[in-house]
Amino acid sequence: MKLTVDNQLVTLDELRRAWLEPVTVELGDEARRRIAESNELIDEVVAHGDTVYGVNTGFGQLASERVSDDELAHLQENLVRSHAVGVGEELDDAVVRLVMLMKVVALAEGFSGVRLQLVETLCALINAEIYPLIPSRGSVGASGDLAPLAHMAGALIGIGEVRVGGNIVPAPIALKEAGIEPLQLAPKEGLALLNGTQVSTALALAAVFRTENVLAAALMAGAMSSDAIKGSDVPFDRRIQIVRGHGGQIAVAGVLRDLMRDSEIRASHAECHRVQDPYSIRCQPQVVGACLDVLRHVCKVLETEANAVTDNPLVFVDSGAVLSGGNFHAEPVALAADYLALAIAEIGALSERRIALLIDAHLSGLPAFLVEEGGLNSGFMMAQVTAAALASENKSHAHPASVDSLPTSANQEDHVSMAAFAARRLHTMIDNVADIVAIELLAAAQGIEFRRPAKSSPPIEEVVVGIRALSPPYDQDRSLAADIRRVAATVDAGAYCRYAESVLPSLSR
């Protein structure tokens, strides 16, 4: 993908594509003009000797300390070096690419006072697929994602390490091989790089895209389970959804109807005497639809934040003002991530309940634990236990991170958002749900095959064939661990998105 950063907003679709694959970034003429004008204003401030936070002062609690003009470049470099104290495993290249892209977008707005050379150098790193090694832990999400962004900034000035082609390389060597000159930072540039919510936002966006993948798979698994137990599609009737009015519910019911249309299994029991199915089947539009509405809301918040200017102070060329504020506070991202955590947990919880239903012979009408010769064989008994363990674990992970705050910087930063952790923990939850849904897909495929010779709908039968390419029918006891891993990988990779593309926020525009 080639992306020109200029007057237009970067879209959710473009962000998803930048997460999926390398991107080429360039600046448009209007962006270049804005950057240059804001930098000229910073140069004027320095020339006039005005005292401006972060330009010629210390930082945080040290903001009252004036720094001499001959030390201004040293001040910015010291900021980067002192703040690069992140710990833990490094962020993957896809997330780092999003971080770098969103930093370009923010700086190109022309409110940060940096030189055009800095933004172009950041673009050059993206285009050369040079990704700074950024530790995942160390941000509290206020004053920006300071520690992780310092590691990103370090690569621009030739310190730290980067990943190139999957290999870890010292930043100076990678820059030299790519023909990129390390920067010497000018006034305010270190602060403009470090202040910002781009790491928290990138982690949250990556979680959104992965949630879309598991939600699509969960819809397919839910349709398969409904057919496997000879459930009714009447609860998915559009008229029922319309009178309640929630958009997500209406959309999910539509997907389920499409997935189950023309099923021979459904037709075989159209006149049965069962009045109602359990809630995990019947209330899928209401539960997963609510989760879809959460996802849509979170997407709007994060799309806004991806285009936001979140450093400090901000430079307003039209009035000549340089104003200190708090756009670096990541509370919007933290609250959105916490909201998304609830939806992720619920997608997994409902899937686990359907697995429990499938293995219960009294409710499903299928062989106990989905295997012949029960007793001799335990079938899917322990697979459901694994799903229950993961669903329960997600309940703890769903506890909101944003309600916690520890003051930092000698109480100058007395309320923080914890947005980076709020977003990062989503990925553990998604891993769990991908495994849960994989187990349901395996169990539902087994259940559908017990209904032979009747067939399910064309899309469901297509998925059953795909699952059987990864996992043979379960006719006697064996370990399902490897099968679960293989199917979970297809869930996480978005293999089922095409069956629900019309309702997924980043794919339906």
CB 446 within 8 A of CB 380: yes
The residues, ordered by sequence, that sit 6+ positions from 119 with a Cβ below 8 Å of its Cβ are 27, 31, 35, 104, 107, 108
* Alpha carbon distance 186, 300 (integer Å): 35
CB 124 within 8 A of CB 73: no
Outline where 244-380 has alpha helix (H): 247-260, 264-268, 279-282, 284-306, 331-359, 361-364
CB 330 within 8 A of CB 141: yes
Strand 321-323 relative to strand 314-316: parallel, antiparallel, unpaired? antiparallel
DSSP 178-246: HT-PPP-PPTTHHHHHHSSSHHHHHHHHHHHHHHHHHHHHHHHHHHHHHHHTT--SGGG-HHHHHTT--
What single-letter amino acid sits at 501? E
Q: Measured between alpha carbons, how far apart are the two ends of the chain, in Å? A: 17
339 catalytic residue (yes or no): no
> Exposed/middle/buried for 362, CB within 10 Å: 0-12, 13-18, 19+?
exposed
Which of 53, 131, 474, 496 is catalytic? The answer is 53
> Exposed/middle/buried for 354, CB within 10 Å: 0-12, 13-18, 19+?
buried
Report DSSP state, residue 5.
E
Q: Is 314 helix (H, G, I), strand (E, B) or coil?
A: strand
CB 383 within 8 A of CB 437: no
Nearest residue to 329 (alpha-carbon basis) of 246, 272, 405, 380: 405
Q: Is 116 helix (H, G, I), strand (E, B) or coil?
A: helix
Q: Which residues are catalytic?
A: 53
